[in-house]
Structure 1
Amino acid sequence: MSPNTIGALLMIASMACFTFNDTLLKMTDGALPLFQLLFLRGVTTSVLILALSRQLERIDFRLQARDWKVIGLRSVAEIAAAYFFLTALFNMPLANVTAILQVVPLSVTLAAALVFRQAVGWRRLVAIGIGFCGVLLIVKPGAEGFNIWSIYVLIAVLCVTVRDLSTRALSPAVPSMTVTLVTALSVMTAAGLASLSAPWAPVTPSVAALIGGSGVFVLGGYFFSIQVMRVGDIGFIAPFRYTGLLWALLLGWVVFGDWPGAMTLIGAGIVVATGVFTLYRERKLKVQAEKMRRT
């Protein structure tokens, strides 16, 4: 297989793992307080990362002070994203939450233009605007459809955007597994401290199995997403991120019996289409810039 084909398959696998993780956590159905759940999953994930770090990638904590500051910002964003996303996930259909998250590539592109002063042409700006209109169709900002959980997902989108921009700001020499482990430990520690404010619930064998499976799938998502960055053309591979929505639609229907309404599906289609177009334009402009350099 070509590097691009391998990269596409790795991206699909990554999205599948993350969606299966979300499904397993949602299946706990409030059996445990959120912070206790996050702490136990963090323990599982951290242990797995340490156990497999030699096979996945080296872990090195000898980093520059600047990189530690960026990792700290990224970890805070990850903690907030986990809280708002999972809170919304426990109160909304899986596909609806995932559909709103598909706007992240658009929000990252817009934020990169504002923060890093990256050039964004009028075509991509129009696509971003249309994509956000698609999000409005999903969250239904009317008296009937809009609720606090929709706001929580939008806050999670903001947090994920900060996380991704922070990742871009890291030095190339920073090992990905170091960032992954620090992030997992940060979420685990924050959740563990927060969980002390309320009594812990007993963990039944079935809930323990769901948490364990969630930890395995999160590790799979981390591993595949790291490998994606090492093969192929990112401009070709990135659109396969949207397969996460297909997994969410399938699992939401099979496991929970949820199927989004027509407006949600239309909005999700608009978001995906504009996201793919934005990624296509970025790839095209990079190719043109590379040709200019060679000439």
Structure 2
Amino acid sequence: MASKAQHPAILIPFSVATLGIALFSTMDAVMKGLSLAIGAYNAVFWRMLLGLLLSSILYALARPSRPSRKAMRYHIIRGLVGSVMALTFFWGIARLPLAEAVALTFVAPLISLYLAAAILREPVGPRAVLASAIGFAGVLVIVGARVGTPGSADLWGAASVLISAMLYAYNIVVMRQQALVAGPIEIAFYQYLIIGGLLALAAPFVAVVPAALHWPNLLLAALLALVSLMLLAWSYARAEAHRLAPVEYTALVWAALYGFVVFGEEVGLTTLIGAALIVTGCVLAARTKTHPEPAIETMP
């Protein structure tokens, strides 16, 4: 009886999170085009400013109360992490096929196992170590296919995406904790405010106002990211992070589709093999044990 009652309880957050990933994947495709056209920094910076404008309107209409100190702490931490995470990811996808870049990001749940052990004091058992080894083998398959290809941009792009994945692993831990103490609109507003503020520090040196033809795509990317961020925040407030983790893997389907249709990229066999190994490792890791609720007080 308990399992039947739990099934619909997880189904709604799972479905909402799946929609959030679909919208986020669409935003990735739009941002790849913008990164190629105006550079990763300008694509992220101007999208963040538009996102801040949109989220500010929603935040003002919601008439929010002042965030708690604990919530503000998570907003700042996630904003700091998110700024570097976004720049490294979009710089990387401008140099890699979209599906390949997304497949590399799937190592984040594996890395989060060790971060959870360090931050939340969760034990890492032998099966989790085996899962990490399988996932790492998948990374080697994908990156190894890049060795010997003409030019070094591909390897630098892969390295940049892997750095972003490591940051996203930490983001996974913070995301769940943040969602327990703040609402979706508040999370979105402070995410844009902090990341936009950090990126603005470099604006006098590297920011260039995009041509008029790029603004519709920048607005589209901002809208997609805002809605996706709020959908994911809503979902993570209603279900444990490890139960929503499989949703991340649907991004590969969207990345392969957009990569082929929009950018003419074919999904290579090594990408599929590497992605399969990484996903296998993640699934094996997720089945090791039932994860407890995050201990919010233990965040550094």
Whether TM exceeds 0.5 here: the answer is yes
Relative contact order higher in (CA < 8 Å, ≥ 6 apart): 1
CA contact (8 A) 2:146 2:155 kept: no
Distance, in Å, in 2 between the alignment partners of 1:274 and 1:173 is: 31
Instruction: With the length of structure 2 as denominator, give the TM-score of the two structures.
Output: 0.84
> What percent identity do the matched residue pairs reach?
23
Distance, in Å, in 1 between the alignment partners of 2:172 and 2:63 is: 21
Question: Which residue, out of 18, 29, 54, partners 1:12?
Answer: 18
Distance, in Å, in 2 between the alignment partners of 1:195 and 1:265 is: 39
Number of residue-to-residue matches in the alignment: 282
Distance, in Å, in 2 between the alignment partners of 1:281 and 1:3 is: 22
Residue in structure 2 matched with residue 164 of structure 1 by the alignment: 172
Task: Quote the offset at 1:133 in angstroms.
Answer: 1.3
Distance, in Å, in 1 between the alignment partners of 2:276 and 2:64 is: 39
Amino acid at match of 2:270: M
Residue in structure 2 matched with residue 139 of structure 1 by the alignment: 143
Residue in structure 2 matched with residue 47 of structure 1 by the alignment: 53
Distance, in Å, in 2 between the alignment partners of 1:248 and 1:78 is: 21
CA contact (8 A) 1:39 1:189 kept: no
Aligned-partner SS, 1:118: coil
Question: Which residue, out of 148, 162, 176, partners 2:156?
Answer: 148
Task: Quote the offset at 1:59 in angstroms.
Answer: 4.1
Please, which runs of 5 or more residues in structure 1 have no aligned partner? 287-295
Residue in structure 1 matched with residue 216 of structure 2 by the alignment: 209
Distance, in Å, in 2 between the alignment partners of 1:141 and 1:20 is: 26
* 2:267 counterpart of 1:263: no
Instruction: With the length of structure 1 as denominator, give the TM-score of the two structures.
Output: 0.85
CA contact (8 A) 2:103 2:252 kept: yes
RMSD (CA atoms)? 2.6
Task: Quote the offset at 1:276 in angstroms.
Answer: 1.9
Task: Quote the offset at 1:121 in angstroms.
Answer: 1.7
1:45 to 1:135, Cα distance in 2 relative to 1, 3 A? same
1:167 to 1:92, Cα distance in 2 relative to 1, 3 A? same
Question: Which residue, out of 177, 181, 189, partners 1:173?
Answer: 181
1:60 to 1:34, Cα distance in 2 relative to 1, 3 A? farther
